[in-house]
Amino acid sequence: MQKGLLVVISGASGTGKGTVCKKLLAESEKIFYSISATTRQPRAGETDGVEYFFVTVEEFKNWIAEDKFLEYAEVYGNFYGTPIHKIEERLNRGEDVLLEIDIQGALNVMKKRPDGVYIFLLPPSLEELKNRIKGRGSESPETFERRFQSATNEIATGKKYQYVVVNDTVDAAVEKIKSILAAERCKVNRNENLFEKLLGDVI
């Protein structure tokens, strides 16, 4: 059986990662969303164990000490980390695992897992990015400024990824991501068993 894909999606805050990932998950089979742990406070409508595992700084530090993270990073003054638990198990079962994580975290995963699929989401323009961050309505003026300032730096780092997708409309972005994943599943290095199966002892 073909191993699942480790799919990493990043992009500047407010680009629409959460929205795009939600639709991708709703429309795809056998794809598992890796729920991160974070020390930030839940936003309105967020539930512990659904969007994130909301933990204290002390709990987060214990998880680090116990080597429970594939990666972790400090983002906007809070800690975020990807629990390693179950990721390998799911990939071996042929299920894809989706990580929606920041750039520092993604660059760390790239070093550990060069076989992953790294996708960077871009906003159609900086103006539209501002509107989206404001439209989400969860930022105070200070956190808005901080998030918007770091957005341009984050966007420049996107060149280190393998794929770039502009989140113009959610539907088009999701279709592009589905196409990327379909192409990745056809890569020769993910399908060497097919040659052996077909040719057997002939070669």
Give me the residues that bind ligand 5GP (CB under 6 A), please. Answer: 13, 17, 36, 40, 71, 73, 75, 80-82, 100-102, 104-105
User: Which residue's CB comes closest to ligand 5GP?
Assistant: 105
Spatial distance between the Cα atoms of 151 and 15, rounded to a whole number of angstroms: 9
Using CB under 6 A as the binding rule, the residues of this chain from 115 to 134 that contact ligand ADP are 132
Site for ligand ADP (CB under 6 A): how many residues? 14
Q: What residue 6 binds from ligand ADP, ligand 5GP, none (CB within 5 to 8 A, per partner kind)?
A: none
DSSP-derived secondary structure for 89-137 = HHHHTT-EEEEE--HHHHHHHHHH-TTSEEEEEE-S-HHHHHHHHHHH-
Q: Tell me which of 7, 8, 11, 60 binds ligand ADP, using CB under 6 A.
A: 11
User: How do strand 163-166 and strand 117-122 relate by DSSP bridges?
Assistant: parallel
Q: Which stretch binds ligand ADP (CB under 6 A): 43-51, 75-83, 109-117, 166-174?
A: 166-174
Spatial distance between the Cα atoms of 62 and 79, rounded to a whole number of angstroms: 13
Rg from Cα positions in the chain: 18
Q: How far is the CB of 13 from ligand 5GP (least distance, A)?
A: 5
**Amino acid in the structure at residue 201:** D
Q: What residue 73 binds from ligand ADP, ligand 5GP, none (CB within 5 to 8 A, per partner kind)?
A: ligand 5GP
Q: How far is the CB of 89 from ligand 5GP (least distance, A)?
A: 18
User: How do strand 96-100 and strand 6-11 relate by DSSP bridges?
Assistant: parallel
